[in-house]
Structures are given as structure tokens and as C-alpha cells.
Amino acid sequence: MFSRYYGVLLIKFREAFAYRFNYFVKIASNFISLLIIWFIWKAIFAASTGVMAGFTFDSMMIYMSLIIVLNWLFSSFEEHTMEFEVRSGAIAMYLIKPISYPITCFFRGIGSRISTLILQISPFLLTAIFLVKLTWPVSWWFFPSVLLSYLISFNLIFMTGLWAFYSSGHIWGIRLSRQLMQNIFSGALIPLAFFPLWLMDIANVLPFIAIIHIPVSIYLGAISGTTILPSVGLQIFWVLVMSGLSYLLWAKTRKKIFVQGG
């Protein structure tokens, strides 16, 4: 059923190898991020009693390394491609072929994720093992949890990209807003354990919590035993809601497409 999308996946996978320079810069950029995080949290923990919201300096560094890796996987560029295809009119080519545009986007995403994992994230993780004493996840549930995160994040990215159809191909502002919300409420900025109650109440009703907070907590063992199933259940809930929303929005958008140029 999906075999026709295999080619799309492969193209995206190979594309990564074509821009090797970018990839080295990206890896360097993430090591610098880790360095900045190291300095700032070192200073913060030095000013504290040594334990903050259940974190020690060492566990915070592991948390932040995981955040860098997950952000790498979940903040994506599919929207850019969608934006470009709408603006240039290339979108028309997808609509006349017997393939589904959303599924094409999905497999393009998978292709670029696989290359990111092999080319960028694995060297980063291998180094992180020594730098921050990264250990194996506490529970193997981490892996299915990350896959569910990817499904939620893909739908969010896809819906952001759909905005291109309504704005003559300018999604920049909406994309930035989504990234900001995701950064704050997913636990990427600071672990949600630090949040005051009212901010946590907001985070709890947003899908972002299911993207980063849940898998990382499972990895570190903060979510374990009987709390794993409800958390993964929440992720499945968000996958269903977000996929449903994407489907409805795409069906609605499809009807009003108006192609520029060509």
C-alpha cells in the first residue's frame, strides 16, 4: 500500500548526504548548545542547595542532552518544503498524481529523520555518553513512546505547513509561534517539574507535553511502573486527535486550493 512512497523516503534520505557541510555545522551547533547549557546550569546549581525540583546537575545534563536530540528529531523542515511547493506552484504536480500529499510529506519526514539519526544524532549520542554520562533508558517503553511523539509532531508540523495555502506561502510567523509554544510547554526549555501549578495546568491540556516530556520522563525513570501506561495512553490520544485534525484540515484545504504560477 505504501510501497509507492518508498521512493520519496529514499530521495529525502539521500538528500542529506548531498549537503554534508550543513551537517557538520549542525553537529557543531548542537555541541555548542550543550556547552552553553553546561555553563548556565553549572552556575544555577552552584547557587542552589545542589538539588532542584528533583534534579541534580548530572541528571539535568542528561535531561538536556536528550532534549537536544529530541528537538533535532521533532523540529523539522517539512513545513519549509510545503511552503516552497505552495509558493512555486509545484504542489500541482502532487495533486494530479495518484498519491496522497499528506502521506508523501509523512514519508519524506521519515526519510530525513533516518538520515538525521545516522549522520548527526549517533555521533552526538556517542560523544554524550562520555560527556554527560548518558545511560541506557530506564524502560524500553521509551522507544515506542518516541515513535508516538514523532506522529504527534508530524501532524503539528503538517498543520503548520497547511497555513501556506491560506497565506500565499508565508508560514514563517505561524511556524515560529508553534516552535515557541512547543519549546515552553513540552519541557524543552526547562523540565516541567519546575513549573508552578497554574503553568502546569496549561501544559497539561496542550499536545506538546506528549512530544518531549513523556518520552524523556520514561527514559529517566520519572515515569515508571504503573504510570507508564496512562502516559503512553495520553500520547495515543494526542496521535488520534492530531491525525483527525490534520485529515479534516487537509480535506478542507484541498477543496480551496488555488495554485500560483506553475
Partner 1 sequence: MSKLKLIWKFFMINVRQNLEYRLNATIGTIAIALTNIPSIIFFWIIFSNIPTLNGWGIGEILFMVGIGALAHGTFHTFFSGVSGWQIEQLIRQGNMDRILLKPLSVIPHLAMEGSFDVDGLGDIISGLIIIFITSNMLGLQWNIFNSSLLVLFVLSSAVIIASFHLIIGTLSFWVTRSGALIDLFYTVMRFGEYPLDIYNLSTKIMLTVIIPVGFINYYPAQIFLGKGLWVPAAYLTPVVAIIMYAIAHRFWDYGLKHYTSTGS
Residue ranges binding partner 1 (CB under 8 A): 19, 21-22, 25-26, 28-29, 32-33, 36, 39-40, 42-44, 47-48, 52-53, 167-168, 170, 172-174, 176-177, 180, 183-184, 189-190, 194-196, 199
Nearest approach, Cβ of residue 54 and partner 1 (Å): 12
**CB of 13 vs partner 1, minimal distance in Å:** 18
For residues 32 and 126, which CB has a smaller minimum distance to partner 1 in the complex? 32
The CA–CA distances, whole Å, from 89 to 106, 173, 217 equal 20, 21, 43
What whole-number distance in Å separates Cα of residue 215 and Cα of residue 143?
A: 8
- Give the residue carrying C-alpha cell 500560483: 260
Residue closer to partner 1 (CB basis): 5 or 74: 74
Q: 205: which residues sit within 8 A by CB, 6+ positions away?
A: none
Tell me the closest approach of the beta carbon of residue 209 to partner 1, in angstroms: 15
Q: How far is CA 217 from CA 190, 229, 231, in A?
A: 13, 13, 10
Tell me whether residue 33 or residue 104 sits nearer to partner 1 (CB atom): 33
Closer residue to partner 1 in complex, CB, 23/237: 23
CB 211 within 8 A of CB 185: no
**What 8-state DSSP symbol labels residue 158?**
H
- Tell me the closest approach of the beta carbon of residue 223 to partner 1, in angstroms: 21
- Least distance to partner 1 from the beta carbon of 196, Å? 8
Q: Of 184 and 216, which has the nearer Cβ to partner 1?
A: 184
Q: How would you class 256 by CB atoms within 10 Å of its CB: exposed for 0-12, middle for 13-18, buried for 19 or more?
A: exposed
Question: For partner 1, which is the closer residue by CB, 43 or 248?
Answer: 43
Min dist. Cβ of residue 151 to partner 1 (A): 25
Q: What is the DSSP letter of 222?
A: S
